[in-house]
């Protein structure tokens, strides 16, 4: 994984897009407010581009999240998954409309989201097995109407149950050895969209000493716990990338500062600092500073954006890359969720 340092994240707006913007891209995602597609063509790009119906907060109508790589890539498909990969890393995406999914007999009582999640993850695990990139590193899940209750259960909790069942059916762990991840609410009527990074090399998985691991949450948060780690580090020989999962104002397993977006942002940043400390101590050989990360910030109510943005800017300065999106968050009492990525470059001669 000596070339991991070549994997770079970029947020690209329409105004900053050159004619050759797609060159050197391993994969990416497009965020915009159009439920039925996108203004950016994706059929002939040579890499998967997940299309997420989620409004960008600010002046831009759409933003591309691009993962660039210095190596040559190979493209393919497995079931519903489109992917590109190098010898070391793989990027894939899958999109399923619930109306196109017929629930299996054993899941009919759970509804179409449950079955869509099972099918999506089944195809993801088949892709990883087929390409030899067994280690799922980072997953982004975008779920329409995430906080709505159907079939007697909130849809986020339905998703967690189906994800855990898919993990077990594929012989994978549901605690401990699970990827960094996030799950956010996309627009009503949009598909379930999942995109992910995987690797041949096992990552170092990081937990937050201030929080109960999500996979050990008590039953009050649903019949099956969320199966993700708080962060993951991939790399060696001085070159490594840190992936921080969606992080919010949670200490232990409880939400703090309900109704106060300012204090929720501050608590979220304390949790990110704790993850930076832990990752620096155990896997990175030193702590990354807050200002060295690239951030994706999910805001439930756009009216809270000025307060959230001001607090984040105070903490990280104005030079960091930040993308703000309007999204429903997995708990109704959370106003903001933040994820981040940071890299430590290779030492000379590594």
Q: Which two tokens stand for residue 68?
A: 């660039």
Distance CA 73, CA 298 (A): 31
Catalytic residues: 337
SS3 sequence, the chain? CCCHHHCEEEEEECCCCCCCCCCCEEEEEEEECCCCCCCCCCCCCCCCEEEEECCECCCCCEEEEEEECCCCCEEEEECCEEEEECCCEEEEEEEECHHHCCCCHHHCCCCHHHHHHHHHHHHHHHHHHHHCCCEEEEEEEEEECCCCEECCEEHHHHHHHHHHHHHHHCCCCCCCCCCEEEEEEECCCCCEEEEEEEECCCCEEECCCCECCHHHCCHHHCCCCCCCECEEEEEECCEEEEEEEEECCEEECEECCCCCHHHHHHHHHHHHHHHHHHHHHHHHCCCCCHHHCEEEEEECCHHHHHHHHHHHHHHHCCCCCEEEEECECCCCCCCEEEEEEEEECCCCCC
Q: Which long-range contacts (C-beta less than 8 Å, at least 24 apart) are formed by 308-315?
A: 308/261, 308/262, 308/265, 308/335, 308/336, 311/262, 311/265, 311/266, 311/269, 312/265, 312/269, 312/338, 315/269, 315/290
């Amino acid at each position: 994984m000596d070339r991991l340092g070549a994997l770079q994240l970029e947020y690209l707006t329409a105004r900053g897009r050159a004619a050759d913007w797609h060159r050197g891209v391993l994969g990416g995602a497009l965020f915009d407010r159009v439920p039925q597609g996108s203004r950016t063509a994706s059929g002939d790009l040579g890499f998967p581009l997940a299309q997420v119906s989620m409004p960008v907060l600010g002046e831009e109508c759409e933003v591309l999240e691009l993962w660039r790589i210095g190596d040559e890539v190979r493209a393919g498909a497995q079931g519903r998954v489109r992917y590109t990969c190098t010898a070391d890393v793989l990027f894939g995406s899958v999109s399923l409309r619930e109306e196109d999914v017929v629930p299996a007999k054993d899941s009919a009582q759970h509804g179409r989201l449950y079955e869509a999640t099972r099918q999506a993850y089944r195809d993801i695990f088949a892709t990883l097995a087929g390409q030899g990139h067994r280690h799922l590193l980072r997953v982004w899940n975008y779920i329409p109407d995430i906080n709505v209750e159907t079939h007697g259960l909130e849809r986020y909790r339905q998703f967690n149950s189906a994800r855990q069942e898919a993990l077990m059916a594929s012989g994978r762990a549901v605690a401990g050895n699970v990827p960094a991840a996030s799950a956010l609410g996309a627009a009503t009527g949009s598909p379930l969209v999942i995109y992910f990074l995987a690797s041949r090399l096992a990552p170092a998985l990081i937990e937050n000493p201030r929080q109960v691991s999500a996979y050990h949450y008590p039953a009050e948060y649903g019949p099956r716990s969320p199966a993700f780690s708080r962060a993951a580090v991939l790399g060696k020989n001085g070159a490594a990338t840190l992936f921080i999962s969606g992080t919010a104002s949670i200490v232990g397993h409880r939400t703090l500062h309900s109704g106060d977006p300012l204090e929720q942002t501050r608590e979220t940043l304390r949790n990110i600092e704790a993850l930076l400390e832990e990752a620096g101590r155990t896997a990175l050989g030193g702590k990354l500073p807050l200002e060295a990360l690239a951030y994706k910030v999910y805001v439930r109510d756009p009216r809270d954006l000025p307060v959230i943005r001001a607090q984040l800017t105070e903490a990280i300065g104005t030079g960091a890359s930040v993308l703000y999106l309007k999204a429903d968050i997995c708990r109704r009492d959370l106003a903001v969720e933040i994820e981040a990525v940071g890299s430590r470059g290779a030492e000379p001669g590594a």
